[in-house]
Amino acid sequence: MKKGFSFIELLVTISLMGLILGLVLVNFGGFNKAKLLSTAADQLVVDLRLVASQAASADKPESCKSPTDLEFEGYQAEIMSATAYQISAVCDGAEYNSVTKELTNGVLFDDTVIGTFFTFYPLDDGADSVAIILRLDALTQTIQVDEAGVVYAE
């Protein structure tokens, strides 16, 4: 009676293990990209929800209060480029306290949304409805801002 495994049995076992390991590594790359896209979308949603909250509570920045009390019109967001967006307070038609933020990890805004402006209006007057599409390679994520000013990722 023989003890141990034959060369063929060992070769088949090692080949199957290599095949399974290869499939796991390939799928991990896709999972990693999906997670990077989800993280960037979550950060954008957080930023927009903060601005929507400030607009709904009519949180006027100090620069709109002095030297004269300017009319607060809300907060405006603009998709400036494939990787950057800007958030500004709008008082008497002018922008104040502009903050520019960048998407991370190679995530880009879809070409169809670059140059898009939308506003969150004060005192629960809602917002301009918009769909913002993010992409990373072949993956996409859509963020919606509805007319009530609610921001959510689809």
**Per-residue pLDDT reduced to its tens digit, 82-141:** 999 999 999 988 898 899 999 988 899 999 999 999 999 998 788 999 999 999 998 999
Residue 53 burial (CB < 10 Å; 0-12/13-18/19+)? middle
Residue 111 burial (CB < 10 Å; 0-12/13-18/19+)? exposed
Whether residue 61 is preceded by a cis peptide bond, meaning omega within 30 degrees of 0, is no
Q: How confident is residue 24, by pLDDT bands cut at 50, 70 and 90?
A: confident
**Per-residue pLDDT reduced to its tens digit, 35-74:** 999 999 999 999 999 999 999 888 888 888 777 778 899 9
The answer to pTM > 0.75 is: yes
Q: 94-102 and 151-153: which strand pairing?
A: unpaired
For residue 114, give the DSSP letter.
T
- Which architecture does CATH list for 7-153? 3-Layer(bab) Sandwich (3.55)
CA distance 132 to 96: 23
Q: Are 142 and 131 in contact (CB under 8 A)?
A: yes
The domain locations on the chain are 7-153
pLDDT value at residue 119: 94
pLDDT value at residue 107: 94
Residues 6 or more apart whose Cβ sits within 8 Å of residue 130: 113, 116, 118, 144, 145
